[in-house]
Structure 1
Amino acid sequence: MVEDFAGGFLTVALHRVLPLEYRRWAPVVTRLGCRSAGVWAAWWLSRLVGAGYTAMRGAYLFVGGVSGYAVRHGYVQRGWVERGSIPACVLWGGLVALGAGWQVGNGFRTPFPLNLLLLPVSMAEAVLVFVVGVLG
């Protein structure tokens, strides 16, 4: 869609900037640049959606586990922390905001001790991002 919208303008701009012997490459560079920009944007949007989902799922599991523990050991009554109750929703929402904020605030990077352990996985992800972005 970016190519359809701005491809003509970008091709003309490249024709004006490039030397004569490279002008024939302007449409190819425009097409690859627009597609790479689209893949890059889709990749970042998928990271944002993934961050939101993992924050919601993690908060859901945490609230369920902690509330079950609290009820089982008599710290709170059963109805006070059931799913859908106001305290459970407030706790869940706060944890979702905290988890998503943590991920976005760290730039989707793994914190220090885990980044060394997960270095091979991070390298494989970087290679995949490059291959999809350049060859996509």
Structure 2
Amino acid sequence: MSPNAKLIYTTRMPVRWGDMDAYGHVNNTVYFRYFEQTRVEWLERMGSRVSVEEPVGPVIINASCTFLAPVNYPATVVIKMYAGDPGRSSVMTWYELFVDGDERLYAEGAAKTVWMDMRTGKSAPIPDVVRALFDPPVA
């Protein structure tokens, strides 16, 4: 995680029975869904719509996850989302995943989000409403 990363959002999600794999723990692909849901919740709660009907929207151009300990059903995961300073069209985000009631870090991840013009498929400036979420409040 970057030293300039700021905690911007924390959420909780129940682990569903179907999240597990044949080994009896949450499947590795599901962690990316947890991170995705966290990103979408943050954007929507801050007033930015995530919809195919919007002319410009966020897409992920890379994502990673380091799995540190298995998560098992039943549980509630706590995901903390951090963000770096936004560029013209992108922002780097990082994630920490915990299990409610346990201070141990179970997974950590990252994703670079780029805003894209849905008509052209090219990068677009981060919308002002989203950019304002990263700016410190004026005193």
Higher percent of residues as helix: 1
TM-score (norm 1): 0.26
Q: Which has the larger radius of gyration?
A: 1
Instruction: Looking at secondary structure, tell me which structure has more strand per residue.
Output: 2
